[in-house]
Amino acid sequence: MARSVNLAVIPGDGIGPEVVAEGLKVLHAAVPGDVKFEITEYDLGARRWHRTGETLPDTVLEELRGHDAILLGAIGDPGVPSGVLERGLLLKLRFAFDHHVNLRPARLYPGVTSPIQARLDERGPDYRVDFVVVREGTEGPYVGNGGSLRTGTPHEIATEVSVNTAYGIERVVRDAYRRASARERKKLTLVHKTNVLVHAGGLWYRIFQRVGEEFPDVTTDYLHVDAATIFLTTDPGRFDVIVTDNLFGDIITDLAAAVTGGIGLAASGNLDVSGANPSMFEPVHGSAPDIAGTGKADPTATVLSVALMLEHLELTDAARRIEAAVAADLAERGGQQRSTSQIGDAIAARVAG
Ligand code: NAI
Ligand code: MG
């Protein structure tokens, strides 16, 4: 069926444009001929801020809203004060478009060596690490519900209040159950800190139990976040789907990325699963100013983010082909040194062939 997709692309700063170019190369190789991607590029990020002082003008926000999806490279450089682009652009997009599901797959591909490889090998040849973290994206301590008094004095007071709503928790928990139910192992682990954060934790736990009654096929588990960090580094294969709040999710997904082969491979999606707003897909890494312009950036995380995007757009076959091409490329990668575009070319060739 002929179809057209309106895609907004924000290449951003540093290696952002370099990896996005390869992501789009693979996208074009993967999508069937009757699906037309109409691409509009948006110049947002550190370069624009330096030039104009703007982070995300309202007119641009409204234009972005009219798209089917957004692909983002990376934003930021050392010359921008901390928080300006995080709050003024990245978090603003997340809140404006109600990106309540932050999706981060963590899969150790054959051929990729984990920093805990020796431990994993002890568990035998069939041991697999393949899980997905569903992180709440619009609540918790990230809502900007805080302030400071007597700032800069020895008596300064600072608050950063975590906001947890039954509505916000329920929708992300239900999404996590759905994802678990669609996977082979059908296992969902709630990660929180219910023993200390009793109010927020109690709400999360009760909703987790109640929504679970709708998914009798899903096995459930609960871990305190500190215990979860231990298992992520000793037995990550025990996880299938993890659901957790915004802050815990931010931290454990970086750990999960490190365990499964590092920042060059970690993909993510910021989803409004209701479909009312465009979802946004991006590699987990930043703009890597230390290697920008050298051709050393690994575009694989962006390519895998494109696959997540195609899956979200229900172009499932194209998404699977990209994942298979990445898996095949990684399996043969070994120690060879290839440039950003050589890796993109190789994956695109496998997708097309
Ligand atoms: P970073 O992820 O940019 O870099 C950390 C280290 O990983 C660097 O040594 C870099 O060379 C390496 N690296 C990152 N991506 C790579 C890739 N694709 N291939 C090979 N090596 C890669 O994090 P850092 O240095 O803390 O931040 C740099 C800038 O990026 C900052 O301005 C920061 O605010 C911004 N940033 C933006 C994010 C976003 O746009 N969502 C996320 C994280 C950081
Ligand atoms: Mg992070």
Q: Which ligand is nearest to the CA of 340?
A: 1
Atom of ligand 1 nearest to the CA of 12: 40
Rounded Cα distance between 119 and 117, Å, is 5
What's the confidence (pLDDT) of residue 245? 97
Q: Could you tell me the domains of the chain?
A: 1-99+276-352 (3.40.718.10), 114-260 (3.40.718.10)
Q: Answer whether 68's CB lies under 8 Å from 271's CB.
A: no
> Cα(251) to centroid of ligand 2, in Å?
6
Burial of 187 (0-12, 13-18, 19+ CB in 10 A): middle
What's the confidence (pLDDT) of residue 309? 98
Q: Answer whether 274's CB lies under 8 Å from 219's CB.
A: no
What's the confidence (pLDDT) of residue 68? 98
What's the confidence (pLDDT) of residue 310? 98
Nearest to 98 by CA among 132, 64, 139: 139
Atom of ligand 1 nearest to the CA of 16: 40
Confidence of residue 78 (pLDDT cuts 50, 70, 90): very high
- Ligand-binding annotation for 345, yes or no, is no
- Asked if the model's pLDDT at residue 146 lies above 90, the reply is yes
Q: Which ligand is nearest to the CA of 263?
A: 1
At residue 72, the 3 state secondary structure works out as strand
> What residues does ligand 1 touch, defined as CB less than 6 Å away?
15, 19, 74-77, 90, 263-264, 282, 285-291, 297-298, 301
> Cα(39) to centroid of ligand 1, in Å?
25
Provide the sign of the torsion angle of the four alpha carbons 179, 185, 191, 194, taken in this order: positive
Atom of ligand 1 nearest to the CA of 74: 40
Rounded Cα distance between 330 and 303, Å, is 12
pLDDT tens sequence across 103-139: 999 999 999 999 999 999 999 999 999 999 999 999 9
- Which residue is it, tokens 């230390």? 290
What's the confidence (pLDDT) of residue 333? 86
Average pLDDT over residues 147-173: 98
What's the confidence (pLDDT) of residue 1? 66
- Asked if the model's pLDDT at residue 187 lies above 80, the reply is yes
Rounded Cα distance between 11 and 292, Å, is 13
Give me the interface pTM, i.e. the ipTM: 0.97
Q: Which ligand is nearest to the CA of 284?
A: 1
- Ligand-binding annotation for 307, yes or no, is no
Atom of ligand 1 nearest to the CA of 76: 32
Confidence of residue 334 (pLDDT cuts 50, 70, 90): confident
Q: Which ligand is nearest to the CA of 253?
A: 2
What's the confidence (pLDDT) of residue 76? 94
Rounded Cα distance between 329 and 158, Å, is 48
- Asked if the model's pLDDT at residue 335 lies above 80, the reply is no
Average pLDDT over residues 230-248: 97
> Cα(3) to centroid of ligand 2, in Å?
35
- Ligand-binding annotation for 287, yes or no, is yes
- Mutate which of 254, 287, 341 for ligand 1 pocket (most atoms within 8 A of beta carbon): 287
Residues serving a catalytic function are 142, 193, 226, 250, 254
- Asked if the model's pLDDT at residue 145 lies above 90, the reply is yes
What's the confidence (pLDDT) of residue 353? 82
What amino acid occupies position 191?
A: V
pLDDT tens sequence across 211-234: 999 999 999 999 999 999 999 999
- Ligand-binding annotation for 126, yes or no, is no
- Mutate which of 18, 56, 263, 294 for ligand 1 pocket (most atoms within 8 A of beta carbon): 263
> Cα(100) to centroid of ligand 1, in Å?
23
- pLDDT-wise least confident of 36-50, 68-82, 168-182, 332-346: 332-346
- pLDDT-wise least confident of 52-66, 131-145, 174-188, 323-337: 323-337
Cα 164 off chain centre by: 21
Residue nearest to atom 13 of ligand 1 (CA): 288
Atom of ligand 1 nearest to the CA of 283: 41
What's the confidence (pLDDT) of residue 263? 87
What's the confidence (pLDDT) of residue 336? 79
First to last CA, the chain: 22
Average pLDDT over residues 198-223: 98
> Cα(286) to centroid of ligand 1, in Å?
3
Rounded Cα distance between 201 and 164, Å, is 9
Confidence of residue 2 (pLDDT cuts 50, 70, 90): confident
Model confidence, pTM: 0.95
Average pLDDT over residues 231-244: 97
